[in-house]
Structure 1
């Protein structure tokens, strides 16, 4: 059977929200009930995306959940696990006939998310004209890539938050090595894992003798837990105790303005990496991610057809 006969991801939004409300936390938890509700055959359930990496129905459930997350109807609680929010519960109490993008447009969080996409879209896609009519195929591919990339960033941070503090510290050391510090050699980096605020969590030696080193502080915080100036002061105090001049402070959340201003004024060179930047660096340097599918776009080689 073709993918077109499967329910579209918007058609899955309401049943998926209802299932999450019933504590079906993962996509796998939702699959059996989705099969029953839509009377899907085993062949339809097993149908794969062109990449062969995932079933089509699982992919559509994932995207239904992703869109509702941006509206604030569901929220992640662990890697791949979601729960319904008060907003989502309020919507179900209203007994909607369906949930689609039009319904989601009524939520400020969703509006903010879509407005960010609009700012990144080509100027020709504005003025109320459907993007499919004004965008070139290349532009549509770029827009789809951005959406997938943003979803990967969010999923990656959720996965990072599920790590233990010790594994998170080791991850940051691995990331710096992947970025080329210490010539990328594993023996040049070490997670220290001292307890207590302000302690040095890791170090990467930039030379074999350890004469030049980058000290690391890693804070695995929830998004709403902003890192303030006191945490930076404690870290720089620890660096001073080690006679260190270079440091990297990494958090899965963000830094307050006071913390950012403070770092600009200190003698030591300290780089701040917040959650979004951490995810981007991990993606760019292949840490914690893998290539799912590669698409090659070809064009005519004009030089080949030049008449000499």
Structure 2
């Protein structure tokens, strides 16, 4: 019988493995957990039903993902993880076990949980039925919502780790994937010193229909206030433009949103949360890991026989 630990059981051992403060590859942590729990060769080789990933790799990956959402683990670069100060404190405060209940003490984890309660295509929250009462469709919807929220958090952290020009390139790639500039072009302009504007979307081949882009990679807890929107509006005016999009990894104050509504130019504001949703929705910086198909009885078919 396979005795591979579940992802919650793995949370504290994974965090303890990082206790010395060294940055490690997530790949190495997966192997270390297989060693720590004395998994047999068969258990190490056990695959998910999809056959695309080892079970132990998947569970350690989810443990790391939840710890990251709570701020106990940081990802300084691709495939690299390191314990945070909060993670060190969590080990001391929880000598026996760290699980999802434990993580509820961390505001960043609660924000993540709130995102999982949102339907993938709307801003309304959905009730989650108890597992015993959930249908297969309910379970898949819950899994998709959890996965989407986790990946959105990770993709936003990856965006924050980019250089300013790298972030601008990411924004341009997203706008292209969304279909902007299809008949014209989408280009980054900051390298040429185009003050106040980081990108230009030409909606037609001649560039007569233009949308101007401001892309700012700021810390998540930073707030963009009214003056920054006023400055962007001034840049649009200088280019005789009347449409712009301000995209950031942080958030906008109510004053900033009011300013965007007040001025004559139409300015769309996209904060970090919305940016993460769009990156995942349009497949920028993410990969499809697995698809699932549910079947139901076709009663009409049998009625014709």
Give 1:28 deviation, angstroms.
1.6
- Corresponding residue for 1:44? 43
208-217 or 52-61, which deviates more: 52-61
* Closer, same or farther: CA 42–199 of 1 in aligned 2, 3 Å: farther
CA displacement, residues 194-222 of structure 1 (integer Å, 9 cap, x when unaligned): 48796211111111211110100101122
**Counterpart for residue 257 of structure 2:** 260
Distance (Å, rounded) in 2 between the aligned partners of 1:305 and 1:263: 58
Change (3 A) 1:256 1:219: same
Aligned to 2:122: none
CA distance in 1, matches of 2:240, 2:230: 15
Contact persistence 1:24–1:30 (CA under 8 A): no
Aligned pair count? 298
User: Which residue is equivalent to 1:11?
Assistant: 9
CA change 1:19–1:10 in 2 (3 A) is same
Report deviation, 1:133. Answer: 1.9
Counterpart-to-counterpart distance in 2, 1:250 and 1:133: 42
Deviation at 1:225, TM superposition (A): 2.1
- Deviation per residue, 1:70-101 (Å, 9 max, x gap): 44433343344333333322232346122233
Q: Does structure 2 conserve the Cα–Cα contact (< 8 Å) formed by 1:198 and 1:231?
A: no
TM-score, length-normalised on structure 1?
Answer: 0.85
In structure 2, the residue matched to 1:82 is 81
List per-residue Cα deviations over 1:5-63 (Å, max 9, x = no partner): 21221221111111222224432231343233111244433433233433221221121
Tell me the SS of whatever aligns to 2:246: strand
Instruction: Give 1:189 deviation, angstroms.
Output: 1.4
Task: Find out whether 1:147 has 2:146 as its counterpart.
Answer: yes
Contact 2:247 2:271 in 1 (8 A): yes
2:28 aligned counterpart, secondary structure: helix
User: What stretches of structure 1 of length at least 5 have no aligned partner?
Assistant: 126-130
CA contact (8 A) 2:115 2:149 kept: no
Cα pair distance change 1:304/1:204, threshold 3 Å: same
- Distance in 2 separating the partners of 1:40 and 1:242: 64
Change (3 A) 1:175 1:112: closer
After superposing the two structures, state which structure 1 stretch, 159-168 or 77-86, moved more: 77-86
Task: Quote the offset at 1:152 in angstroms.
Answer: 1.2
Q: Equivalent of 1:288, from 268, 285, 295?
A: 285
Measure, in 2, the Cα distance between the counterparts of 1:49 and 1:245.
52
Check the 8 A contact 1:79/1:162 in 2, yes or no: no
SS at match of 1:82: strand
Q: Which moved more, 1:234-243 or 1:110-119?
A: 110-119
2:164 alignment counterpart: 165
Distance 1:299 1:223, change over 3 A: same
Alignment of 1:23-38 (within 5 A): 23-38=22-37
**CA RMSD, aligned part only?**
2.7
Question: Any stretches of 5+ residues in structure 2 without a counterpart?
Answer: 119-124
